[in-house]
């Protein structure tokens, strides 16, 4: 998306998201530690990617610098618009020279291209609908044949409900154009994957309309964008609920995601801290809802959106570099200090807390209160209002794909509190699915265990309770176990 387009996009998106601004998630943030830990160099992950400007700026030096920073971030996916190749009408000529250079540089660097091919920006939108479709079919076939064996993933259109000076698109038009791309791709190379037109948010009206019109039958992935408060509990799971209500099992992906510091209050440093914490929570939520993969917006251009403006890394850049979404489970008995950025993360309803929550404490030096050792996690139900959900979550990374694992935990329930062990995000075709077990005993340590079918290589474990408003009610969790075959 070009800078001028992104500015318009932001202005329109701002009004759409006003009710979901990030103050909704973070105004109650209580942070006791702003330590962010640096990891050594690591291999590239194909789970995460980033948007950059090489679609409209194919300059070789610019491309080289984009590649260097993408690899430095430890991510493997890059989104690139198929700009500047011409061929905008049926029978028109193409000019591939500049695009070939960019594509080949990405391939040589070991990066995977997700290319946008737009029926609005790349071809003439003829007033005759059949001609418009013919123009798009011509463009798509030529692009896919040109880059057969090099580009295996195409994104159809971009935020179709917004104008961008090219007119909006209806859900039916989106389905028709996606069908053209899907059928063309499968005829050229069955390994090419198609992402449906990603709307502005997980709750966009056009997503529901496209699903109702059968977009799942002509795409490999359901695409969305997610910004700011759209990643909070509930809303980020909306695509899965739409699919499940229609008995559709399809992977969902995020091809744009991010936030900007001006959406927050405080000093420039505080605003940037809020911004980088957003990416920590985004990583947690991606796994919690079983998203197939995600791309950040944006690397180096687009004003405030850039995490490395003019290739000068920000604090957010380094936070993304340090995301640990495939970390193996450790510290089962809470005997070591918890890093609330990427180990047990605190949640209170739809608020996400990094650091201390008034309702969560990691207690150490109390062998009489622990089931084993000296430490445990305590969730104070009595301090929270009745019905308020309180829980801590942790990503279980690097677990065996297509196998059952057993997740267990010991819990002690006092007073009128309740306690539930959950597994989330384990089914990448139904991200809202969960498996749970609730404690049935009081004032005694009870072992809870659930069997979880892993569809990819992760799950998210949740240890939770709910508020009672009765002083003295609490839950203690200890000795979490993960047993793999």
Give the CATH number of the domain where residue 203 resides: 3.20.20.80
Same domain, 365 and 221: no
Q: Which two tokens stand for residue 327?
A: 């970390």
Report yes or no on 163 lying in a domain: yes
Same domain, 138 and 188: yes
Report yes or no on 330 lying in a domain: no
Q: Return all residues near 332 (Cβ < 8 A) that are at least 6 apart.
A: 479, 480, 481, 482
pLDDT at 353: 52
Same domain, 355 and 207: no
Distance CA 420, CA 414 (A): 14
Report yes or no on 20 lying in a domain: no
Same domain, 100 and 59: yes
Residue ending a domain, among 321, 356, 391, is 321
Same domain, 271 and 379: no
Scored b (16 or more CB within 10 A) or e, 142-179 reads bbbebbeeebbbbbbbbbbbbebeeeebebebbbbbbb
pLDDT at 185: 98
Residue ending a domain, among 321, 356, 374, is 321
pLDDT at 340: 80
Report yes or no on 67 lying in a domain: yes
pLDDT digits (tens, 9 = 90+) for 22-34: 333 333 222 222 2
Q: Which two tokens stand for residue 355?
A: 């650091």
Q: Return all residues near 11 (Cβ < 8 A) that are at least 6 apart.
A: none
Scored b (16 or more CB within 10 A) or e, 340-356 reads bbbbbbbbbbebbbbbe
Same domain, 369 and 475: yes
Same domain, 57 and 206: yes
Same domain, 361 and 294: no
pLDDT at 12: 41
Report yes or no on 337 lying in a domain: no
Q: Cβ distance 474 to 463 under 8 Å?
A: no
Same domain, 311 and 355: no
Report yes or no on 389 lying in a domain: yes
Question: How do 360-363 and 252-258 pair as beta strands?
Answer: unpaired
Q: Hey, is 159 helix, strand or coil?
A: coil
What is the DSSP track for 413-465? EETT---EEEEES--TT-TT-EEEEE---SSSEEEEEEEEEESSSEEEEEEEE
pLDDT at 28: 28
Same domain, 183 and 101: yes
pTM of the model: 0.89
Q: What are phi and psi of 221, to 5 degrees?
A: -135, 140
* Residue span of the structural domain in which 156 resides: 3-11+37-321
Same domain, 390 and 469: yes
CA distances in angstroms from 279 to 36, 58, 228, 367, 400, listed in the order given: 12, 28, 10, 36, 26
Report yes or no on 28 lying in a domain: no
Report yes or no on 23 lying in a domain: no
Distance CA 171, CA 87 (A): 25
Distance CA 250, CA 188 (A): 23
Residue ending a domain, among 321, 336, 356, is 321
> How many domains does the chain contain in total?
2
pLDDT at 301: 80
Same domain, 316 and 217: yes
Q: Cβ distance 463 to 416 under 8 Å?
A: no
Sign of CA dihedral 143, 145, 150, 156: positive
Q: What are phi and psi of 479, to 5 degrees?
A: 50, 60
Q: What are phi and psi of 320, to 5 degrees?
A: -65, -40
**Within the chain, which residues score under 70 in pLDDT?**
1-44, 348-356
Give the CATH number of the domain where residue 399 resides: 2.60.120.260
């Amino acid at each position: 998306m070009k800078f001028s387009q992104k500015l318009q996009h932001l202005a329109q998106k701002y009004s759409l998201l006003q009710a979901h601004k990030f103050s909704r998630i973070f105004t109650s943030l209580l942070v006791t530690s702003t330590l962010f830990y640096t990891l050594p160099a690591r291999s590239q992950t194909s789970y995460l990617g980033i948007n950059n400007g090489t679609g409209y700026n194919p300059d070789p030096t610019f491309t080289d610098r984009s590649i260097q920073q993408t690899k430095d971030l430890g991510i493997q996916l890059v989104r690139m618009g198929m700009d500047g190749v011409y061929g905008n009408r049926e029978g028109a000529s193409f000019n591939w020279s500049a695009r070939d250079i960019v594509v080949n540089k990405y391939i040589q660097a070991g990066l995977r291209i997700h290319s946008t091919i737009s029926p609005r920006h790349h071809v003439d939108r003829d007033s005759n609908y059949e001609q418009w479709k013919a123009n798009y079919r011509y463009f798509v076939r030529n692009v896919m044949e040109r880059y057969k064996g090099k580009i295996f993933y195409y994104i159809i259109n971009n935020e179709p409900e917004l104008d961008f000076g090219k007119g909006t698109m209806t859900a039916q038009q989106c389905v028709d154009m996606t069908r053209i791309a899907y059928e063309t791709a499968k005829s050229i190379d069955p390994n090419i994957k198609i992402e449906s037109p990603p709307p502005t948010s997980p709750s966009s009206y056009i997503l529901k309309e496209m699903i109702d019109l059968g977009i799942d039958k002509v795409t490999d992935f359901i695409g969305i964008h997610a910004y700011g408060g759209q990643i909070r509990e509930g809303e980020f799971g909306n695509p899965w609920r739409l699919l499940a209500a229609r008995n559709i099992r399809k992977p969902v992906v995020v091809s744009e995601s991010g936030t900007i510091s001006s959406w927050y209050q405080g000093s420039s440093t505080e605003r940037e801290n809020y911004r980088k914490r957003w990416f920590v929570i985004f990583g947690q939520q991606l796994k919690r809802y079983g998203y197939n993969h995600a791309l950040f917006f944006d690397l180096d251009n687009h004003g405030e959106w850039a995490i490395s403006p003019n290739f000068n890394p920000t604090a957010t850049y380094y936070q993304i570099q340090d995301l640990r979404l495939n970390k193996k489970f450790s510290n089962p008995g809470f005997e070591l200090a918890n890093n609330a950025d990427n180990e047990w993360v605190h949640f209170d309803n739809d608020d996400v807390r990094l650091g201390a929550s008034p309702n969560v404490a990691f207690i150490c030096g109390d062998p009489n209160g622990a089931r084993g050792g000296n430490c445990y996690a305590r969730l104070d139900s009595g301090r929270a209002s009745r019905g308020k959900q309180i829980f801590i979550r942790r990503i279980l990374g690097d677990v065996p794909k297509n196998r059952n694992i057993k997740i267990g935990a010991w819990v002690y329930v006092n007073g009128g509190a309740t306690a539930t062990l959950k597994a989330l995000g384990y089914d990448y075709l139904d991200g809202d699915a969960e498996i749970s077990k609730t404690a049935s005993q009081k004032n005694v340590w009870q072992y809870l265990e659930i069997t979880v079918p892993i569809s990819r290589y992760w799950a998210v474990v949740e240890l939770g309770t709910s508020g009672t408003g009765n002083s003295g009610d609490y839950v203690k969790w200890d000795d979490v176990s993960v047993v793999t075959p």
